C-alpha cells in the first residue's frame, strides 16, 4: 500500500483572517467556503489546481500549542531558493513572525533549506527549496532540522 498526503486540515480561530493569509499572502486559491453547524470552513488549492491542498476550519478556541500532540509544522516546497526569498519578502511586508532571520539550511553544509514562520494562529510553517541555501546557517549544528524544535 502506498499513501500520499491528500490535504492538510488546520483549525483556525478566525476564518476571514486565515483566508486572507493563505490566499492573499501565500497564493492559495479558494475552492469552496461554507458552514457546517456552527463551524465555518474553506477548502484551498494550490495555485492553478482544482484539488484541495489545505482545509481551514474555524473551530479553534486559542492559538497553536506546540506542547500538544498533533501538527509539528506544515512544510511547503518552492521551485527555487529565489522563489523562497520572494515569499519571504511578501511575508515580511505582511508583518509575519519568523522563527529565524532569513533563509536557513536544513543542516550544517546542507543543500536544502528555507524560511520558517508562523500563520495568524501561530501554526508553524516552512517554505523550502531542495537547492540553493548552500552556505546559509543551520539553526542547530548537531542535528538535521526543519527549523523548529
Please list the active-site residues: 126
* Residue 127: Cβ-neighbour burial (10 angstroms; 0-12, 13-18, 19+): buried
Do the Cβ atoms of 149 and 142 come closer than 8 Å? no
Dig out the grid coordinates for 26 from the structure.
Answer: 501565500
* Residue 104: Cβ-neighbour burial (10 angstroms; 0-12, 13-18, 19+): buried
Do the Cβ atoms of 14 and 58 come closer than 8 Å? yes
Amino acid at each position: 500500500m502506498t499513501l500520499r498526503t491528500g490535504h492538510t486540515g488546520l483549525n483556525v480561530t478566525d476564518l476571514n483572517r486565515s483566508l486572507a493569509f493563505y490566499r492573499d499572502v501565500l497564493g492559495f486559491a479558494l475552492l469552496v467556503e461554507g458552514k457546517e453547524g456552527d463551524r465555518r470552513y474553506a477548502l484551498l488549492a494550490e495555485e492553478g489546481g482544482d484539488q484541495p491542498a489545505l482545509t481551514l476550519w474555524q473551530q479553534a478556541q486559542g492559538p497553536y500549542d506546540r506542547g500538544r500532540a498533533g501538527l509539528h509544522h506544515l512544510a511547503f516546497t518552492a521551485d527555487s531558493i529565489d522563489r523562497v526569498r520572494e515569499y519571504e519578502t511578501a511575508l515580511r511586508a505582511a508583518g509575519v513572525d519568523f522563527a529565524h532571520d532569513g533563509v536557513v539550511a536544513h543542516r550544517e553544509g546542507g543543500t536544502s533549506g528555507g524560511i520558517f514562520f508562523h500563520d495568524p494562529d501561530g501554526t508553524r510553517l516552512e517554505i523550502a527549496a531542495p537547492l540553493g541555501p548552500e552556505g546559509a546557517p543551520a539553526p542547530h549544528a548537531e542535528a538535521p532540522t526543519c527549523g523548529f524544535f
